[in-house]
Amino acid sequence: MIALIQRVNWAQVHIEGSLHADIGQGLLALIGIEKDDDDRLAQKLLDKILAYRIFGDNDGKMNLDLKDIGGDLMLVSQFTLAAETEKGLRPGFSTAKPPAEAE
C-alpha cells in the first residue's frame, strides 16, 4: 500500500463533472492499493496518517495531528501509485489490486 499525503485548506473530488466529495482543512491522501494489501495493513496506514504531527502549533512547529486541529481526511484510490516503472517506458500495473477489490 502506497500513500501520497498532502495538507490542504480544502479539497474536492469531481466525477464526470459532478461533485462527489469535499473537505475543509485537513489531509488529502491518494492511496495506491496493491494485490497483497489487506484490512490489517489498511488500518495500520490509517492509524499512521491520523497520528502524523504535520500541522503547526502556536510556535509554528509541526506538533499537531489531524484530530488536534479538528481537520478532515479525504482518501482517494489512485492505482497509478502502484505502477511498476523499473523497466522500459510503459508503466505496468500488475501489482495494483483490481478496481472492484480496491474500492
Active site residue 85: no
Q: Which of 25, 43, 79, 93 is catalytic?
A: 79
Q: Which of 6, 12, 43, 80 is catalytic?
A: 80
What one-letter code names the amino acid at 90? Answer: R
Active site residue 55: no
What cell was used for 2? Answer: 502506497
Strand partners, 26: 8, 72
Active site residue 25: no
In the DSSP assignment, the letter for residue 60 is S
CA atoms of 16 and 101, how far apart (whole Å): 22
Query: What one-character-per-residue DSSP string does 5-25 give?
Result: EEEES-EEEEETTEEEEEESS
Residues assigned a catalytic role = 78-80
